[in-house]
């Protein structure tokens, strides 16, 4: 089936709008989970490290399961996956309202909601890329701000709902709002197949399907038949020895024409079985070769020193850089900041500045005179310094300023694909980006619990955020050392592995 060319507009703008609201509705609560985190601490009385697992799983599971999410979208399409994921997110949020303990939240909020968010992110990005080509960067930038706007609005909304309806009522209402994802998904119309008739098959394509069987040498097929004949012969010998003198009767049957036809059918059957066996062997060989090529390409990526440093940097960045969006409200409470001083929730400030950072850093990355890799390194170093400054902030104003700085620098996610492309090349972008996103999800899952355990151990966030800032600074300096001019040769394109070709020859029907 042929797919229409990307329209770069038209219904594509509807896709952008519904994708924006999809990310707004699904990521609003999980990213603004810091408001719920404080309530869960009071409701269940668990440690900060254990309670932080709920929010970290909701953010990390989607990234860890990104290969599965991509497979689902490519197999079923964006619309069915979006509708199904809408049920997942809404159901997980509503179930969390009835959670009897923190362990139930690990499943309902952490895994169910997290997996739904991962599926929705993949679906919205995929269908947007299908509808846009020349304006793809603009379209992706617009839909990615949905999560940041969701963080800004849901932080205040969830606090208001908790005040009026309690924690359980808040989760039920937020889950009901998430059902609007189903309406958004219904508008994600896939690109129609072209109306023009398909071209006639060439002579080679007109070969019947019964001839499509892998074969290298004719003798291999004969060897399989010989093996079957030996097996069949030994079976016949066993039968004849256990016949107790009935060989004369068998001899008469062989003279029967019906028996002769049966023998021919047996030979045909043996040949078919041999062909199937050989086909399975060749298919297994091909799959193994593909797996081997994937491992070789992965090893080749890690031979690139800049990519190896980037993998360490993104892992350390997510360990240290993600916790502020989850824990900043509790940091303010631990610093004895009065609620009357809160002009705006700190998480809302992080959310709106993240959207601003995505747009500004994305624009800067388009300038030819700016090195995107060094720009990304600068955001890591400044973010590490800002994290180390959090223990010195003892008022709402200073915490709000640091939240704005951290939110703006977190917008470096918008330039991360540019950095990956510069490092490995466009041909290997999908492979490399998948590996990096897996480790980003691992860092997202581990970061908040580690910071929470530091608090449980020391009863203060000071050492926790020193550790967090150190992780981000370490990742930035490792990447800086790898990107310096002496390592420039590491940025050269690695030679492509020779493509593996499989010859297949005409054979009989299986």
386 in Cβ contact with 402 (< 8 Å): yes
Residues forming a β-bridge with 193 = 3
Per-residue CA distances from 305 to 218, 300, 479, 487, 494 (Å): 47, 10, 9, 8, 12
For residues 448-464, b (16+ Cβ closer than 10 Å) or e, as one string?
bbbbbbbbeeeeebbeb
Q: In the numeric block, which tokens belong to residue 328?
A: 């900043």
Q: Which fold has domain 282-485?
A: Growth Hormone; Chain: A; (1.20.1250)
Q: In the numeric block, which tokens belong to residue 142?
A: 């617009």
DSSP characters over 379-436: HHHHHHHHHHHGGG--SHHHHHHHHHHHHHHHGGGGGHHHHHHHHH-GGGHHHHHHHH
> Which residue in this structure is represented by tokens 């509790």?
330
Same fold, 1-190 and 282-485: yes
The residue length of the chain stands at 510
Asked if the 1-190 domain carries CATH number 1.20.1250.20, the reply is yes
Element (H, E) at 45: none
> Which residue in this structure is represented by tokens 């969006």?
325
Question: pLDDT tens track of the chain, all 510 residues?
Answer: 445 566 767 888 899 899 999 999 998 888 888 889 888 988 888 888 888 889 888 888 888 887 787 778 878 888 999 999 999 999 999 999 999 999 999 999 999 999 999 889 888 888 887 787 767 667 777 887 888 888 888 988 998 999 999 999 999 999 999 999 999 999 998 876 544 444 444 433 443 443 343 444 444 555 555 554 554 454 444 444 444 445 444 454 444 556 666 666 666 766 666 767 777 777 777 777 767 777 777 787 788 888 888 889 999 998 888 878 777 877 888 777 777 677 787 888 888 888 888 888 877 877 778 888 899 999 999 999 999 999 888 888 898 899 999 999 988 887 777 787 778 776 776 677 777 878 888 888 888 888 888 888 888 888 888 999 999 999 999 999 988 875 454 444 445 555 544 444 444 443
Torsion, CA 163, CA 164, CA 165, CA 170, rounded to 10: -60
Name every residue whose Cβ is closer than 8 Å to that of residue 410 and which is 6 or more positions away in sequence: 321, 325, 350, 354, 357, 383
Burial class (CB in 10 A: 0-12, 13-18, 19+), 492: exposed
278 in Cβ contact with 215 (< 8 Å): yes
461 in Cβ contact with 58 (< 8 Å): no
Burial class (CB in 10 A: 0-12, 13-18, 19+), 201: exposed
47 in Cβ contact with 452 (< 8 Å): yes
Query: CA angle 78-19-415, nearest 5°?
Result: 105
* Spatial distance between the Cα atoms of 46 and 139, rounded to a whole number of angstroms: 42
pTM of this prediction?
A: 0.66
Domain ranges of the chain: 1-190, 282-485
């Amino acid at each position: 089936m042929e797919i229409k060319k990307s329209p770069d507009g038209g219904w594509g703008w509807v896709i952008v709008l519904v994708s924006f609201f999809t990310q707004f509705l699904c990521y609003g609560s999980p990213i603004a989970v810091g408001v719920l985190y404080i309530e869960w601490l009071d409701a269940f009385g668990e440690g900060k490290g254990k309670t932080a697992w709920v929010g970290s799983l909701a953010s990390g599971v989607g990234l860890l399961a990104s290969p599965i999410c991509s497979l689902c979208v490519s197999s079923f399409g964006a619309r069915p996956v979006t509708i199904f994921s809408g049920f997942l997110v809404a159901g997980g949020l509503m179930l969390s309202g009835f959670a009897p303990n923190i362990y139930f939240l690990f499943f309902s909020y952490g895994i169910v909601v997290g997996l739904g968010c991962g599926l929705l992110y993949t679906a919205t990005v995929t269908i947007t890329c299908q509808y846009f080509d020349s304006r793809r960067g603009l379209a992706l930038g617009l839909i990615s701000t949905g999560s940041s706007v969701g963080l800004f609005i849901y932080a205040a909304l969830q606090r208001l709902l908790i005040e009026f309806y309690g924690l359980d009522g808040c989760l039920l209402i937020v889950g009901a709002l998430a059902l609007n994802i189903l309406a958004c998904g219904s508008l994600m119309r896939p690109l129609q197949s072209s109306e023009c008739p398909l071209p006639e098959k060439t002579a080679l394509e007109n070969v019947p399907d019964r001839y499509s069987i892998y074969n290298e040498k004719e003798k291999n097929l004969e060897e399989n038949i010989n093996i079957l004949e030996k097996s069949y012969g030994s079976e016949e010998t066993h039968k004849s020895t256990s016949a107790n003198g009935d060989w004369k009767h068998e001899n008469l049957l062989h003279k029967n024409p019906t028996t002769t036809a049966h023998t021919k059918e047996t030979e045909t059957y043996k040949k078919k079985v041999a062909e199937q066996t050989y086909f399975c062997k060749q298919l297994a060989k091909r799959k193994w070769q593909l797996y081997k090529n994937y491992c070789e390409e992965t090893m080749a990526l890690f031979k690139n020193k800049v990519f190896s440093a980037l993998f360490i940097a993104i892992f350390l960045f997510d360990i240290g850089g993600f916790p502020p969006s989850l824990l900043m409200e509790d940091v303010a409470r631990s610093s004895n900041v009065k609620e009357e001083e809160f002009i705006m929730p700190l998480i809302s400030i992080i959310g709106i500045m993240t959207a601003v950072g995505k747009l500004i850093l994305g624009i800067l990355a388009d300038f030819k005179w700016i090195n995107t890799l060094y720009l990304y390194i600068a955001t890591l170093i400044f973010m590490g310094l800002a994290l180390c400054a959090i223990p010195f902030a003892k008022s709402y104003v200073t915490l709000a300023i640091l939240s704005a700085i951290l939110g703006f620098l977190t917008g470096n996610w918008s330039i991360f694909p540019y950095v990956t492309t510069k490092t490995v090349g466009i041909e290997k972008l999908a492979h490399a980006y998948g590996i990096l996103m897996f480790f980003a999800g691992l860092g997202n899952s581990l970061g908040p619990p580690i910071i929470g355990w530091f608090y449980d151990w020391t009863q203060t966030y000071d050492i926790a955020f020193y550790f967090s800032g150190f992780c981000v600074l370490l990742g930035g300096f490792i990447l800086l050392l790898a990107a310096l001019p002496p390592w420039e040769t590491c940025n050269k394109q690695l030679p492509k592995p020779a493509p593996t070709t499989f010859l297949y020859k005409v054979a009989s029907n299986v």
